[in-house]
Chain A
Amino acid sequence: MSEPRPPRVRVTGPPRRRHAPTARTGDIDEQTALGSVYLDSLLREQLALALRVLAVLALTVGSLPLLFHLAPGLAGVRLLGLPLAWVLLGGLVHPWLLLLGWRYVRRAERNERDFVLLLQMDSDMDTET
């Protein structure tokens, strides 16, 4: 009777699932080989996308000074009654930059969605086995 009562213990069954649904993020956090592969693929994909956009920017807008330097006659060309340089640099370049940015955002978000799907798919497979 005088014995102290043992502390209460919660009794539970064995864990049903060995991994939480987001197990693969553990791989990324803990820097396993698999986590590295996942991250590297996302990083490569996003960097390649960024470089593609920048290449287009360099080839279109960035090449204009060289183009006008090599062919000074372009300064006299008129588009809609205005000199070409004014139409390009004063007007068209702005919607063009916006278009490049818009396409970039769509692709970058798609890359991230694919990445998230990949992680989920993988952890689903884990929980089934």
Chain B
Amino acid sequence: MQGVPGLVALVAVSLATLAIGSYGLRLSRTTSDFYVASRSVRPGLNASAIGGEYLSAASFLGVAALVLTSGAQMLWYPVGWTAGYLVLLVLVAAPLRRSGAYTLPDFAEARLDSRRVRALCSVLVVAIGWLYLLPQFQGAGLTLAAAVGAPAWVGAVVVGLVVVVGVGGGGMRSVTLVQAFQYWLKLTALLLPAVVLLVVWRGDGAPGVGAVGDGWSMPLGAGERGLYTTYSLVLATFLGTMGLPHVVVRFYTNPDGRAARRTTLVVLGLLGAFYLLPPVYAVLGRAYGAAPDDTLVLELPRLVVDGPLGDVLTGLVTAGAFAAFLSTSSGLALAVTGVLAQDVLTGRSAGGLSGVAAFRVGASVAVAVPLAAAVLAPDLSVARAVGLAFAVAASTFCPLLLLGIWWRGLTGHGAVAGLVVGGLGSAAGVVWAVADGTEGGWTDTLLAQPAAWSVPLAFATMLGVSRVTRHRVPVHTRRFMVRLHTPEVVPLDRG
């Protein structure tokens, strides 16, 4: 009986996802459909899809649990994840769309005319994508274990299979529909229970609010190290969003640069609306003495409400959590697939596969590797892996995009040097987290949150090496910059 609502929710979400995906498949015919939905997605639908793709397990389950455990300082996660879209909007959105490239490696190659930069970017996209996919699969395992008592690997495998079928089957056109649906499902799945729980809570005499006094309402940790950690987190999330491969790929599905901006603006609204809710769960969890772990959102309805209503609400949040894993994994798998299919499986090497076939093989590889890692090594902390993906993205693709879009002086050599330095610096943090080093001093703090030093270091390296190799600035730079910044109504030679 305990597991029934969760099981119903799981089956319903998986079926709805596959149904919408196969509807999208009927509309997908060309390779362009597979990759970029033929660049014709309207801002409203596209923004819903971006929201659906972006709101991962970390947002749906992780934030509420973190805030319950550590208080207001963890509110910087949702704030940073939203503000990252504002930074992306003002610095990257329209030029990136106008660049006419599909993936980050495409952009790098077109801008810098260098195969080496392209190869390096491809490696980074796959690395960040897998780093981000791993916790999604692990979270799915945890959720299914909590909801129906299945062993942890079952959830991971179910999500992996649905993602491969969805991505490999229908490509971008069908993923867009699926993810737009999943944003609204996630919002509903968090909003409706929150409203019911708040009503019940008021009926119970609104307990627990008076207790909010101690460190729980302090928005940063104690001392200088608390200040450093918070600012490093802010930097990683504000700047890392633009460098996440699944976020960037979405921008190529906009019809033009102006639509890309408007889409991003709608995304800001959708994310803001969603992120108002997890803190409500944290506060209620504290009021009702819930256990402070990742299953808080799933457990809270039954804790507050008895009987069938509690079961229905539990089913709803389980459905939302599952939608979160599915949509984020689909987006990431799609981005990694794009790179694998374009750079590894097609064309240039002998015996390359045709477009759609390469896409399908790529999708399987993109999912299989992190899925195996999640099943074999299920102990890596979920929230930390996501945080590190942001730190790596902020230390590598953020400088590449910002300097590539706004500075003519960037050279291929500068880009390579900056990507390597930023990548290695932030990867040191990844290794530290995997090795689970706990020294407790400044070294630990600096490595646990590398963004505050690795991002400036990457920028400085990229700028410095580009200045030294300034005779290597690609000849077509000015022409490319023109394309990035000129509105589409001006009839330019857009190559």
Bound together: yes
A40 to B492, CA, bound (A): 16
CB neighbours (8 Å) of B231 from chain A are 65
In the complex the two chains form, is B487's CB within 8 Å of A50's CB?
no
A22-63 vs B: 1/0 string, CB under 8 Å?
Answer: 100100110100011001001100110110011001000110
Provide the A87-122 mask, 1 if CB < 8 A to any CB of B, else 0. Answer: 011110111011011101100110010011001000
Flag B478-495 by CB within 8 Å of A: 1 or 0 each: 110110011101111100
Given contacts A31-B479, A54-B90, A98-B269, contact A85 B75 (CB under 8 A): yes
Q: Which residue of B lies closest to A21 (CB)?
A: B491
List residues of chain A with CB within 8 A of the CB of B227. Answer: 65-66, 69
Within the complex, the shortest CB–CB distance from B487 to chain A, in Å, comes to 4
Q: Does B276 contact A (CB under 8 A)?
A: yes
B406 within 8 A of A: yes
**B481 x A43 contact (CB < 8 A):** yes
CB distance from A42 to the nearest CB of B (A): 6
Chain B interface, number of residues (Cβ within 8 angstroms):
52
- CB–CB B82/A94 < 8 A: yes
**Total cross-chain contacts (CB, 8 A):** 145
The reply to whether B481 and A39 form a contact with Cβ atoms under 8 Å apart is: yes
Scan residues 453-495 of chain B and give those whose CB is less than 8 A from a CB of chain A. Answer: 478-479, 481-482, 485-487, 489-493
Query: Do the beta carbons of A112 and B269 come within 8 Å of each other?
Result: no
- In-complex Cβ contact of A95 among B76, B234, B258, B272 (8 A): B272
Are A97 and B90 closer than 8 Å at their CB atoms?
no
Asked if B146 is at the interface (CB within 8 A of a chain A CB), the reply is: no
Q: Which of B226, B230, B264 contacts A101 (CB 8 A)?
A: B264
Which of A22, A31, A35, A89 is B76 in contact with, Cβ under 8 Å? A89
Q: Are B220 and A83 in contact (CB-based, < 8 A)?
A: no
Closest partner residue, chain B, to A43 (CB atom): B485
> Does A75 lie within 8 Å of B492, measured CB to CB?
no
Q: B127-135, B209-217, B372-380, B393-401: which one contacts chain A?
A: B209-217
Please state if B261 and A108 are interface contacts (CB–CB under 8 Å).
Answer: yes
A119 to B489, CA, bound (A): 11
Q: Which of A47, A69, A89, A108 contacts B79 (CB 8 A)?
A: A89
Cβ-defined contact, B486 with A86, below 8 A: no
Closest chain A residue to B270 by CB distance? A98
Shortest CB distance A116–B (Å): 6
Q: B359: CB under 8 A from chain A?
A: no
Nearest Cβ on chain A to B31's Cβ, whole angstroms:
29
What are 15 residue pairs bridging A and B, where the CB atoms are less than 8 Å apart in the complex?
Answer: A46-B485, A65-B219, A72-B218, A75-B219, A86-B279, A90-B72, A97-B268, A98-B272, A101-B89, A101-B268, A105-B262, A108-B90, A116-B487, A116-B489, A116-B490
A binding-site residues for B, Cβ under 8 Å: 22, 25, 28-29, 31, 35-36, 39, 42-43, 46-47, 49-50, 53-54, 57, 61-62, 64-66, 68-69, 72, 75-76, 81-86, 88-91, 93-95, 97-98, 100-102, 104-105, 108-109, 112, 115-116, 119
Q: In the complex, given contacts A112-B258, A119-B490, what are 14 additional A-B residue pairs having Cβ atoms less than 8 angstroms apart?
A: A22-B491, A28-B492, A29-B493, A39-B481, A69-B227, A82-B209, A83-B213, A85-B217, A86-B217, A89-B72, A93-B83, A94-B82, A94-B276, A101-B86
